[in-house]
Chain A
Amino acid sequence: MTHEATAEPGAVKTAAPAAAGAPDGRRPGRGGKRRGGAGRRGSGWTPWLYLAPALVVLAGLLVYPIYQLGLISFLEYTQAQVSGGEPTTFKGLGNYQELFSDPQFWDVLLATVVFAAACVIATLAVGCALAVLLTRIRALPRLLLMMAALGAWATPAITGSTVWVFLFDPDYGPVNRLLGLGDHSWTYDRYSAFALVLFEVVWCSFPFVMVTVYAGIKAIPSEVLEAASLDGASQWRIWRSIIAPMLRPILVVVTIQSIIWDFKVFTQIYVMTSGGGIAGQNLVLNVYAYQKAFASSQYSLGSAIGVVMLLILLAVTLVYLRLMRRQGEEL
């Protein structure tokens, strides 16, 4: 797959001359990357016609809500304003000031980042390790592991959460019995509660990493690997010098995806720690924003938290774009 990825821009360029005979009205010779189809029939509006439904939906249900989110975060917007009892007033950066001076916000932000980082690292480690394992075994055990992973992958977040809580239930769960922990409650302590959620998150998200990385390794030509081992390279050396660099584009994709997923975990925390844990000890930004907005009707504060999340993920996205650009990906 990696191979195809690097070969693709070339393939596109060789396809271009085939269409070059056709009159290509607009923007001729744009970096020599002209492709067929474009304006061949002089229909400059056709692409926009095709794009129209998507753009309408995205403008109305994505761009507009983002604008609204930003707007509400600058307003005084609580139950009184929502019901129309009091006029909406502009608060400027007041909400952010309130948020940033609240020690709980910083605590939740830190917890979110640390928790997400732990989930990402654990997911990638497990996923990559099992992907490598898959390449070393015969078809039957491979199929078994694949099927099990597929099952975990397909499990909806909410059912995964309920099952994991049940497995670790102090009274009726098998895990405590197996580990001889008696009626130890996993959700009582902050760290063990986070650990429990982490297990579930890793369980349901490692399969994506495993399958993707496995497909990536399979795409590396076996001659290259054989040549390396004939030359006396150690397994570690082969991994570091051949497989890892070839897998880099795939690893970037799964890492970024994992960061994005794990940063905005909601269902697991909400269900497994009953809405954020005892005294909010297991809150992450998402659940925190939800509780602020819908439980205590402080919509403006909730929106400000939403904006903070949006900005953090935007930063991640920009890093991703840069990495893609550096790899010479053509959009």
Chain B
Amino acid sequence: MIRRPWRLAAEISAVLIAVVVAFPLYWMVLSAFKPAGEIQSTDAKPWTFNPSLDSFRRVFEQQEFGRYFLNSLMVAGAVVLASALIAFLAATAVTRFRFKFRTTLLIMFLVAQMVPIEALTIPMFFLMRDLGQLNTLWSLILPHIAFSLPFAIWMLRGFVKAVPEALEEAAYIDGASRTRFLWQILFPLVFPGLVATSVFSFISTWNDFLFAKSFIISDTSQSTLPMALLVFFKPDENDWGGIMAGSTVMTIPVLIFFVLVQRRLVSGLGGAVKD
């Protein structure tokens, strides 16, 4: 369909673009391993012959990055589990039942997705203060569950819908209870969708910077990774080695997670868009 020289040109530009797109990540990892002298050289080279772990050491020893990493992981993990379960139930309700206000609810979930969570920082701050949760990980977990839910429900709908009605009929005829159908038949079938959905709630929680900055005010032991990274920005001289090492530590888990679930993610995206 397309002539050969054109395809070759297209392929070369695709590879070049891939290099440009990947370059910031390469630069991040490279700078994390560069010794201090090379980082502070005005003659920045795209390689190093003296890789060093100094920046990582600084990050983990001076900054307790391990603890922040664990905090981030706990927050994201709790949000992913809770929102997946709650969204699964809700998505089942709106796809497999017909009831009054069903459409209204769906529209509400759609509208809720569009709410700029950043605009809710102020009331959320007072709510968490009133609940006595400021400076605790709960102040990050609770809001993020709420913010991931509408999208998760919306996205899971397609997956729940895709499970044939006949299967449900058959299960009931065989004497399965509604609960049994829900957890032993529907849940495993929808699981790939849950994974795709979880990627989004994981990412948005893992990335959260605004809430961590606003709600974890005094107790830095409850900080998450994005906040810990900021410590390396200094008014006079940024510690770029530390920033890049910290960034690497923060990015790699997400990258691994992404690569692991990419197939499901793409098909999940298809499912969500289709709807």
Contacts and interface: CB of A to CB of B under 8 A. Distances in A.
Contacts of B119: 69, 264, 286, 289, 305-307, 309-310
A265 B48 CA distance: 34
Given A18-B165, A153-B258, A134 B274 contact: no
Contacts of A271: 209, 230
B151 to A, nearest CB: 10
Q: Is the interface of B mostly helix, strand, loop or mixed?
A: helix
- Residue among A1, A58, A133 having the largest count of chain B Cβ atoms under 10 Å: A58
Interface in A22-68: 24, 26-27, 30, 34-41, 43-44, 46-48, 50-51, 53-55, 57-58, 60-62, 64-68
B251 A53 contact: no
Given A54-B90, A310-B116, A27 B98 contact: yes
B142 A61 contact: yes
Range, interface on chain B: 35 or more
A47 B92 CA distance: 8
A86 B251 CA distance: 46
A150 B22 CA distance: 9
B18 A148 contact: yes
A38 B126 CA distance: 41
Contacts of A34: 98
A151 B120 contact: no
Given A26-B100, A50-B92, A167 B122 contact: no
Interface string B159-178: 00000111011001000001
A106 interface: no
Interface of chain A, main secondary structure: helix
A310 B22 contact: no
A51 B22 CA distance: 42
Interface of A: 1, 4-5, 8, 15, 18-19, 24, 26-27, 30, 34-41, 43-44, 46-48, 50-51, 53-55, 57-58, 60-62, 64-69, 72, 130, 133-134, 136-138, 141-142, 144-145, 147-160, 162-164, 166-167, 169, 171-174, 177, 203, 211-212, 215-216, 225-226, 229, 249-250, 253, 260, 263-264, 266-267, 270-271, 274, 286, 289-290, 293-294, 299, 302-303, 305-307, 309-310, 313-314, 316-317, 320-321, 329, 331
Interface of B: 1-2, 6-7, 10-11, 13-15, 17-19, 21-25, 27-28, 31, 39-44, 46, 85-87, 89-90, 92-94, 96-100, 102-103, 105-107, 110-112, 114-127, 142-143, 145-147, 149-150, 153, 164-166, 168-169, 172, 178, 203, 206-207, 209-210, 214, 226, 229-230, 233, 240, 243-244, 247-248, 250-251, 254-255, 257-259, 262, 266, 269-270, 273-275
